[in-house]
A and B are shown apart, each in its own frame.
Chain A
Amino acid sequence: MSFKTSYFKTIFWPRFRQNRFAMAGAFVVAGLFLLSFLAPFITPCDPSAIDAYHVLLPPSPDHWMGTDELGRDVFTRIVYGARISLKVGFVAVGIAIAIGTVVGLLSGYYGGWMDSILMRFVDIMLCFPTFFLILAVIALLEPSIWYIMLIIGITGWMGVARLVRAEVLSIKERDYITAARSIGASNVRIIFRHILPNAAAPVFVAATLGVAGAILTESALSFLGIGVQPPTPSWGNILTSGKDYLEFAWWLSLFPGLAILVTVLAYNLLGEGIRDALDPRLQR
């Protein structure tokens, strides 16, 4: 354990800190967490409070980002929308990472027919246009945030599986695995104690980048009206009304889109920064 802490302190952190873009990404991500947890303290309004007398107002000191077609404060809805995108990002990626890691470990460690079957399954899953698959499943179920997270996760694990498999294939040939086996360690112990921790770094990077992808997918689904359902605010479904009132209310389109842009950018910068800090040879 002490080795790991010292690795973090002496190698990873100094490298990561020098990367200004990665630090900026980390700050934005931290800020988004704060925003989500402290939403009621940051904005005094209720995100679903309808005000028929203040409909489609442009940005002003009272409403920093204007109001929507029902007179709701756009800034408030964007702050609460951060909660949704955070939740979707982490749960969906958690599911994808869990499935992908298990499949990759089994396939890489045991090889043989298990590997063939699992990897063919990955190939098949990759044939479906993911967005079509997600839409088809949602067509069968009621649109709800839980289904959305589940489906984004279930359709997004294939890359992780291939990544983990490749890592396992190279790790299992190392001497310390042979050493562990020679002293009689069980397969389960070798996988969880020796292989998994050494394959964790690239998975962590993939997860960070995956959060960005999941947030984009959720916002696209919500924009099309099959994601997070109103009145729950999500950046995607605010943009839906942005589209309907495009000619009269630019602020309904501009701000939620910027929120998505900044968030996704931050996760991407953070992920790339972590990757570069973990392994400078990969820096391109």
Chain B
Amino acid sequence: MITYLIKRILMLIPLMFGITLITFAVIHLAPGEPVDMQTAMNPKVSAEARQKMREFYGLDQPLHVQYVSWLGRMARLDFGRSFAPDNRPVTDKIVERIPVTLSLNIIALILEFGLAIPIGILAAVRRDTILDKGITVFVFLGFAIPTFWLALLLMYFFGVKLAWLPISGLHSLGSDQLGPIAWFWDLAKHLILPVGIATFGSLAGLSRYMRSTMLEVIRQDYITTARAKGLSERVVIFRHALRNALLPVVTLLGFSLPGLIGGSVIFETIFAIPGMGQLFYTGVMSRDYPLVMGILVIGAFLTLIGNLLADICYSFADPRIRHGRA
């Protein structure tokens, strides 16, 4: 197990290098010097800040020297200072936003798996019934509905028409004066729509996947054997089939992370939630260059860590992996 873990972590190193290389390439993709480009677009950047930027990126030096020094700063999590009027270090700005985005995504992830797994099992077990067909229709609609449009419709219905739910931010004005229970209820009401949208975004794909792995497993010989032994259908499905069908779904946990983080741009912007996605969007719109690069690298690293965690879960679930036999 430990050798597997060490091997797995060592494999991350080339990936991390790759991520920084690509981000560095994106920086230098722009025609001309990034600093010129930046300052030409943004009249708020003073000549002084421009000079600082040029020194920061060491733009007078050859590319490989620039890359190495940039890498050194990144290892110390130093992404420079934001171009925004507050001029704060990018790292600080990102770090204070990460908890919001991560906790939203984790809640969504839990809901997603909690709903998709039973839906997928149900569709597989009741294959070709009305129920299965209904779920299939739902899945296809789920694939095709643009989440930002669904967000608009729900905002219109629950926020504007019925006025049941707040449509922006995480707290109401003056919520800090409320008692703990009322405060929590206020937060929960603000979260229903954005978390619901984030969950819905990948629910369709996940339940479809669960259905197909379940169908695959049900076809196996050991399921026939279990049935032939006279085990009840409940035991066959939950003890024998489900355990094996869950394995490939666990790996999806890691893969769904980039999608979720990327998707946070959309729902955080729509619902005005102060998370990383919204920060990134403001950064893009104001061409706040160090901020954009910082979030890009951190987003990719978060994904890497998510993949690692998923692999570790997988190796706990499947002994063949940790003994290096698969």
A195 to chain B, nearest CB (A): 27
Give the interface SS of chain B, mostly helix, strand, loop or mixed. helix
Within 8 A of B (CB), among A120-164: 120-121, 123-133, 135-141
Q: Determine whether B178 belongs to the interface, using a CB cutoff of 8 Å to chain A.
A: no
**Residue from the list A123, A131, A246 in contact with B156, Cβ < 8 A:** A246
Q: Mark B257-289, 1 if CB is under 8 A from A, else 0.
A: 011011101100110000000001101110101
B313 to chain A, nearest CB (A): 18
Q: Mark B14-28, 1 if CB is under 8 A from A, else 0.
A: 110011001000100
**Residue from the list A133, A253, A268, A269 in contact with B296, Cβ < 8 A:** A133
Q: Determine whether B29 belongs to the interface, using a CB cutoff of 8 Å to chain A.
A: yes
CA distance A123 to B30 in the complex (A): 24
CA distance A253 to B143 in the complex (A): 19
B143 to chain A, nearest CB (A): 6
A-side contacts of B145, CB under 8 Å: 261
Q: Which of B85-93, B147-155, B184-192 contacts A (4 or more CB under 8 A)?
A: B147-155
B-side contacts of A220, CB under 8 Å: 146, 148, 266
**Residue from the list B22, B34, B284, B295 in contact with A138, Cβ < 8 A:** B284
B136: nearest chain-A partner, CB-CB:
A21
Q: Which of B71-79, B235-243, B297-305 contacts A (4 or more CB under 8 A)?
A: B297-305
Quick check: B261 and A132 within 8 Å, CB to CB? yes
Answer whether A136 and B149 are a contact pair too, CB < 8 Å, given A121-B18, A224-B265.
no
Give the interface SS of chain A, mostly helix, strand, loop or mixed. helix
**Most chain A beta carbons < 10 A, residue from B263, B283, B292:** B292
Quick check: A127 and B140 within 8 Å, CB to CB? no
Quick check: B146 and A216 within 8 Å, CB to CB? yes
Answer whether A253 and B258 are a contact pair too, CB < 8 Å, given A128-B296, A132-B299, A224-B265.
no
Q: Determine whether A65 belongs to the interface, using a CB cutoff of 8 Å to chain B.
A: no
Quick check: B259 and A124 within 8 Å, CB to CB? no
Quick check: A239 and B265 within 8 Å, CB to CB? no
B-side contacts of A208, CB under 8 Å: none
CA distance A125 to B269 in the complex (A): 25
Answer whether A261 and B295 are a contact pair too, CB < 8 Å, given A127-B15, A130-B258, A250-B156.
no
Answer whether A127 and B265 are a contact pair too, CB < 8 Å, given A136-B293, A216-B146, A246-B155.
no
CA distance A247 to B29 in the complex (A): 41
CA distance A264 to B147 in the complex (A): 13
Quick check: B140 and A123 within 8 Å, CB to CB? no
Quick check: B296 and A131 within 8 Å, CB to CB? no
B276: nearest chain-A partner, CB-CB:
A132
- In this complex, how many residues of chain A approach chain B with their Cβ under 8 Å: the count is 46
B-side contacts of A130, CB under 8 Å: 258-259, 262
Within 8 A of B (CB), among A243-284: 243, 246-247, 250, 253-254, 256-257, 260-262, 264-265, 268-269, 284
Answer whether A139 and B283 are a contact pair too, CB < 8 Å, given A120-B14, A220-B148, A268-B143.
yes
Q: Determine whether B211 belongs to the interface, using a CB cutoff of 8 Å to chain A.
A: yes
A-side contacts of B304, CB under 8 Å: 127
Quick check: A129 and B300 within 8 Å, CB to CB? yes
Quick check: A136 and B303 within 8 Å, CB to CB? no
Quick check: B155 and A132 within 8 Å, CB to CB? no
B-side contacts of A261, CB under 8 Å: 141, 144-146, 149
CA distance A262 to B292 in the complex (A): 34
CA distance A226 to B48 in the complex (A): 29
B14: nearest chain-A partner, CB-CB:
A120
Quick check: B156 and A129 within 8 Å, CB to CB? no
Q: Mark B135-174, 1 if CB is under 8 A from A, else 0.
A: 0000011011110110011011000100000000000000
Within 8 A of A (CB), among B34-59: 34, 37
A78 to chain B, nearest CB (A): 13
CA distance A260 to B145 in the complex (A): 8
CA distance A73 to B153 in the complex (A): 21
B-side contacts of A223, CB under 8 Å: 146, 148, 266
Quick check: B284 and A239 within 8 Å, CB to CB? no
Answer whether A257 and B146 are a contact pair too, CB < 8 Å, given A127-B303, A265-B141, A284-B212.
yes
Q: Determine whether B215 belongs to the interface, using a CB cutoff of 8 Å to chain A.
A: yes
**Most chain B beta carbons < 10 A, residue from A123, A124, A239, A247:** A124
A residues bordering B, Cβ < 8 Å? 120-121, 123-133, 135-141, 212, 216, 219-220, 223-226, 239, 242-243, 246-247, 250, 253-254, 256-257, 260-262, 264-265, 268-269, 284
Beyond the given pairs A220-B148, A253-B156, 11 more chain A to chain B contacts, judged by CB atoms under 8 angstroms and listed by A's residue number, are: A131-B263, A132-B295, A139-B289, A140-B37, A219-B146, A223-B148, A261-B141, A261-B145, A264-B143, A268-B144, A284-B215
Can you show 27 pairs from A to B with CB atoms below 8 A apart? A127-B18, A127-B258, A127-B300, A128-B19, A128-B300, A129-B259, A130-B258, A130-B259, A132-B280, A132-B299, A133-B296, A136-B296, A139-B283, A220-B266, A224-B265, A224-B281, A226-B284, A246-B155, A246-B156, A250-B156, A253-B149, A253-B156, A257-B146, A257-B152, A261-B144, A264-B143, A264-B146
Give 10 nearest A-B pairs by CB, closest first. Answer: A131-B262, A124-B18, A129-B262, A257-B149, A265-B144, A264-B144, A129-B258, A140-B30, A139-B284, A129-B261
